[in-house]
């Protein structure tokens, strides 16, 4: 997670894994989210899909530094599920992610230590199966070019590691990109060179965006 503005790590897509421990099934869903409502929706969806399960324990971290952190033991002994899951996410260096561990009880009591280990391992299993995505702080830039120059500019931006965040086709072609703040002057000069100074450049604010892979 990001304490310096350098960036942080999330996951590319939903992951689901399952562990069996002492005949109990622990099914972990890990999904990328960017706000609390989205996390709550994922949790509700898992509950609806697994209505017979005894527990749906949850944890989520949201924000560059994991500023928003929530967890729930959902009926397990206090401190044995949600908090260990939260710490597992932190230990894996992830944010903008929700974990839901659904437990089907197998008849063997695990004890508090066993539950902590099981819920921790379940989240770790999903986290290590996930494709990770780095998010970096970028200055948002909108470029406008005519249709003679726009497509080649788009292709060159991709080649240079600035894949468009959005492309809008109107009277002209608008290409939105994210640029590291320290590279902004060099980027503007390169765009001017590529388009013979014909491209419009509008500098916006900053935001965290997925880095090119």
Residues 143 and 179 in one domain: yes
The torsion defined by the Cα of 7, 38, 166 and 170, in degrees rounded to 10, comes to -150
Determine the Cα–Cα distance for residues 57 and 132; give it in Å rounded to an integer. 23
The CATH number linked to 171 is 3.30.70.240
> Which of 67-81, 124-138, 147-161 is the least confident region?
147-161
Give yes or no: residues 40 and 80 share one domain.
yes
Query: Structure pTM?
Result: 0.85
| Residue 154 CA: distances (Å) to CA of 2, 8, 140, 163, 211 | 30, 26, 16, 8, 17
Residue 2, domain member (yes or no): no
Nearest to 203 by CA among 183, 128, 81: 183
Do residue 158 and residue 91 come from a single domain?
Answer: no
Q: What is the mean pLDDT of residues 148-177?
A: 93
Same domain? 98 vs 143: no
Q: Please give the tally of structural domains in the chain.
A: 2
Query: What is the domain-level CATH number for residue 73?
Result: 3.30.230.30
Give 184's pLDDT tier (boundaries 50, 70, 90): very high
Half-sphere CA count of 158, side-chain side, radius 13 A: 11
- Integer CA distances (angstroms), 191 to 57, 138, 140, 186, in order: 50, 17, 15, 9
CA angle 86, 88, 93 (to 5 degrees): 100
Q: Are residues 14 and 115 in the same domain?
A: yes
Per-residue model confidence as pLDDT tens digits over 43-102: 999 999 999 999 999 999 999 999 999 999 999 999 999 999 999 999 999 999 999 999
The pLDDT of residue 212: 74
Q: Which of 107, 130, 153 is the last residue of a domain?
A: 130
Residue 18 sits in which domain range? 8-130
Q: Give burial (CB, 10 Å; 0-12/13-18/19+) of 104.
A: middle
Asked whether residue 39 falls in the same domain as residue 141, the answer is no
Same domain, 72 and 124: yes
Q: Are residues 91 and 44 in the same domain?
A: yes
């Amino acid at each position: 997670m990001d304490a310096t503005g350098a960036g942080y790590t999330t996951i590319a897509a939903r992951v689901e894994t399952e562990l069996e421990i002492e005949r109990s099934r622990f099914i972990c869903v890990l999904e990328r989210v960017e706000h609390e409502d989205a996390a709550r929706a994922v949790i509700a969806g898992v509950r609806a899909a697994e209505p017979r399960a005894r527990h749906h324990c949850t944890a989520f971290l949201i924000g560059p530094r994991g500023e928003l952190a929530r967890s729930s033991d959902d009926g397990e002994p206090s401190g044995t599920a949600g908090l260990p899951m939260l710490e597992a996410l932190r230990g894996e260096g992830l944010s903008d992610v929700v974990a839901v561990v659904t437990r089907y009880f197998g008849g063997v009591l695990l004890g508090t230590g066993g539950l902590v280990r099981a819920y921790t391992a379940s989240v770790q299993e999903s986290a290590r199966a996930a494709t990770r995505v780095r998010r970096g702080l970028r200055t948002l830039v909108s470029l406008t070019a005519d249709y003679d120059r726009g497509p080649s500019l788009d292709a060159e931006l991709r080649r240079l590691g600035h894949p468009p965040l959005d492309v809008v086709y109107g009277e002209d072609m608008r290409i939105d990109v994210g640029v590291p703040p320290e590279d902004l002057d060099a980027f503007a000069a390169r765009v001017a060179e590529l388009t013979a100074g014909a491209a419009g450049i509008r500098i916006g604010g900053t935001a965290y965006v997925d880095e090119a892979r």
